[in-house]
Amino acid sequence: MRLERTLLKVLPHDPRCKLCNAPFRGVGGLLMRLTGRRPWAKNPNICTICERSARKYRGGAEIELTLLFADVRGSTGVAETMSPLEFSALMNRFYGAATRVLIHTDAVIDKLVGDEVIGLYLPFVKEGPARRAIEAAQELLGATGHADAVGPWLPVGIGVHTGVAFVGIVGSEDTVTDFTALGDAVNVTARLASNAAGGEILVSEAALAAAGISGDGLERRRLELKGRHEPIGVRVLRATDRIEVPTVAR
What is the residue extent of each domain of the chain?
2-55, 59-237
Helix axes 84-104, 129-143, angle to 10 degrees: 140
Residues 6+ apart with CB under 8 A from 88: none
Q: Average pLDDT over the chain, rounded to whole?
A: 88
Residue at 23: amino acid letter: P
pLDDT beyond 80 at 100:
yes
**Stronger pLDDT, 3 or 143, i.e. the higher one:** 143
Task: Supply the Cα-derived Rg of the chain in whole angstroms.
Answer: 19
**Stronger pLDDT, 14 or 132, i.e. the higher one:** 132
pLDDT of residue 45: 78
pLDDT one-digit tens code per residue, 58-80: 678 899 999 999 999 999 999 99
Peptide bond before 229: cis, by omega within 30 degrees of 0?
no
pLDDT average, residue stretch 148-160: 96
| DSSP state at residue 83 | -
Check: pTM over 0.75? Answer yes or no. Answer: yes
Domain 59-237: homologous superfamily in CATH: Nucleotide cyclase, GGDEF domain (3.30.70.1230)
pLDDT of residue 250: 41
Q: Distance between CA 55 and CA 177 in Å, rounded?
A: 8
